[in-house]
Amino acid sequence: MNHQRRIWLTGASSGIGLALAEQLAEQGHRVALTARRREPLLALAERYPDQLLVVTADLTDVHAVREAAERIDAAWGGLDWAVLNAGTCEYMELPHFSAALLERVMRVNVLGTANCIEAALPLLRRSSAPRLAAVGSSVTYLPLPRAEAYGASKAAVRYLMQSLELDLADEGVAVTLISPGFVDTPLTANNDFAMPMRVSAEDAARRIVRGLERGQREIRFPGRFISVLRLIAALPAGLRVALTRRRRKSEITAQQEAN
């Protein structure tokens, strides 16, 4: 590592975020940890008291996010990286389509991310090498059953970050989109379907840190899984739909047999 960075990391209390926090702290960076739950952040901060700043906030509350950024500004006078990792997932269970479910997911994954971008950009603009990163998802490569809300929210994050890359280029603010496949986290532990080529949170964090250090425009992994998704997505629409529907039907059959 060439120098110590000032990093704002959201969604830092578990899963990929916690693994990222540990690895970044181990590398000697100063990291502002944000999540709604304070206890896991304090436990990690006790191990790195001189590097970690605990800043709890509900990211859907724009005033709380602004206050979090003000605390970071007061402590460090700016940011070098903002890594917006916080997110949630709920699956749609048709035939009942729930607009309320869609709103909940969009509020966290899109509005929460937007609130952080608004608060982080003034701090990033003071850095000599600023980078804004956000976690999207590989689901944006291929529509999947039950993922209406989650997929739509992550597609919005993809478009948001790719558009920001164009508008922030003249200011020298680099933008990175992170598109993971299945990662073993408390959130994915609730999934009731097969998760092929799943990686550990620690492995995901290593790939993300490496990609950020290399200045990658998009960090996507695991490569073979992404290739399969993109290959299926490139098929004629009728064949693509048939394949994804068939996979869902086989999962339902397997669940019924297991019960």
Kindly list the catalytic residues. 150
For the record, the structure tokens of 82 come out as 């903002």
Residues 68, 46: Cα–Cα separation, whole Å: 20
Residue 5 has what DSSP assignment? P
Residues 155, 179: Cα–Cα separation, whole Å: 11
Helix 62-76 crosses helix 112-124 at what angle (to 10 degrees)?
30
For the record, the structure tokens of 11 come out as 């969604």
Cβ burial of 154 (10 Å; 0-12, 13-18, 19+) is buried
Residue 211: which of 224, 220, 201, 199 has the closest Cα? 220
Residue 219 has what DSSP assignment? E
Show the DSSP H helices in the chain as ranges.
15-26, 39-45, 62-76, 99-106, 112-124, 148-168, 201-213, 223-233, 237-258
Q: Would the CA dihedral through 11, 22, 137, 78 be positive or negative?
A: positive
